[in-house]
Amino acid sequence: MTPLAVVAWQEFRNDLRNRWVLAATGLLAIFALALAFLGGAPAGTTGVGRIDLLVVSLASLSIFLIPLLALLLSYDSIVGEVERGTMLLLLAYPVSRAEIVAGKFLAHLGILLVAVTVGFGSAAAALAFTGDAPGTAEWAAFLRLCITSVALGASFLGLGYLASTMVTERATAAGLALGVWLLLVIVFDLVLLAALVAFGSDIPPAAVEAALMLNPADVFRLANLAVGGNVSEAAGMVGIGAELRLPASALNGVLALWAILPLAGAWLLFRRREV
């Protein structure tokens, strides 16, 4: 086993023992099942598939829950170990700082992967077994939701590690992580909306588009809800999708960048940090 794999495996085991995996999976499953069975009413007779509707509901849920879960998993990863004194010993071993950050990232990504697959998957499976079999397009939209949810989680994991590396106390890292969540998940869109209401037509669409790319939560939203098809229709975002000049592949690329860049930033900061 390489040092990277040893760190990742141990981190995953610790999180498994500390009920993190169970809590994250349970939380997503409960919400997803509730949405699957209770959230079907608004569809009425629009002809939108039940899985499509589930994707819309789950995407809205993911925007709030996945960043929160990711930040909770990651905010004390570095600063917590430094504070407890375990980081000093870890750094005395033949393992590089890059391997430590990457190992923790892989473990936490694994938890999100399990939580999303089992949590969302149970809701989709329940729908598939209780009604008409969903079509390929519906399953593709669902798969897309799962993959982008994990990517969204990855970007907030990276942001959590950044917070964890920048400060010297766990409590500060927790505050910073909460601030990141509030800013990107709640405040950012409100500010953008306020700007659009206030200045409306003065703002060129390209600027709005660029602003949306600055927030991984918005990139995730667009990637799932505005890429056309039944999902866009169900989400009421067909118009936005048509306005949007970025193709789905570009949105995927931006989301992938968001998954990588904060992590790279955290590694660069951790490299320079004195323990």
Give the chain's radius of gyration (CA, Å): 20
User: Considering only 43-51, 69-77, 79-87, 120-128, which stretch makes contact with another protein by CB under 8 A?
Assistant: 79-87
183-192 CB contacts, 8 Å cutoff, 24+ apart: 184/67, 184/159, 184/215, 184/216, 184/217, 185/63, 185/64, 185/67, 185/68, 185/217, 188/214, 188/215, 188/217, 188/218, 189/215, 189/217, 189/218
94 binds another protein (CB under 8 A): yes
Closest CA to 186 of 223, 149, 215: 215
95 binds another protein (CB under 8 A): yes
User: Considering only 69-77, 81-89, 107-115, 148-156, which stretch makes contact with another protein by CB under 8 A?
Assistant: 81-89
* Window 256-275: residues binding another protein (CB under 8 A): 274-275
User: Considering only 23-31, 86-94, 121-129, 137-145, which stretch makes contact with another protein by CB under 8 A?
Assistant: 86-94
* Binding residue for another protein, selected from 41, 92, 190, 206, defined by CB under 8 A: 92
1 binds another protein (CB under 8 A): yes
Nearest-approach distance from CB 271 to another protein, in angstroms: 11
7 binds another protein (CB under 8 A): yes
Nearest-approach distance from CB 102 to another protein, in angstroms: 14
Q: Which is nearer to another protein, 86 or 168 (CB)?
A: 86
Rounded Cα distance between 59 and 72, Å, is 20
Rounded Cα distance between 95 and 102, Å, is 11
